[in-house]
Amino acid sequence: MTETRYTKDHEYARVEGDIAVVGISDHAQEALGDVVFVDLPALGAKLAKGDSAAVVESVKAASDVFAPLSGEVVEVNKDVDARPGLINEDAMGRGWIFKIKFANADELASMLSEADYAAFLKTLA
């Protein structure tokens, strides 16, 4: 069973066992506009929750992608490296940025559920 959790910085973590697939939410990619470059984290990088893990650059701005969970980067999305626009096309699917083997499942509890994230987005309008 997979579960998707969110941060208030608009990252998502789709949990698959002890691996989280990390990317930016649809809301974030819409706010950024056309993504033109992604600076991926290094494979094997050890990240603490809240660390800057990647950078997404659009025609409007550059934005840090923060690690939603502590752990080790076990995979990066080479497709996004070659075609950054995948983030605009399918942020929650093929546009994922990296996978992290997370060290502390308790950190998931501090992230927002899909319903809580949707409610949070309404407060931004």
- Tell me if 97 sits within 8 A of 77, measured CB to CB: yes
| Residue 125, pLDDT score | 72
- Tell me if 26 sits within 8 A of 63, measured CB to CB: no
| Residue 1, pLDDT score | 57
Instruction: For the beta carbon of residue 40, count every other beta carbon within 10 angstroms.
Output: 19
Rounded to an integer, what distance in angstroms lies between the CA atom of residue 14 and that of residue 32? 21
Query: pLDDT tens digits, residue range 38-94?
Result: 999 999 999 999 999 999 999 989 999 999 999 999 999 999 999 999 999 999 999
What is the pTM (predicted TM-score) of this model?
Answer: 0.95
pLDDT band at 2 (very low <50, low <70, confident <90, very high): confident
Mean of all residue pLDDT scores within the chain: 95
Q: List domains and CATH numbers for the chain.
A: 3-112 (2.40.50.100)
Instruction: Write down the number of H helices and E strands in the chain.
Output: 4, 9
Q: Residue 64: in which H helix or E strand, if any?
A: strand 62-66
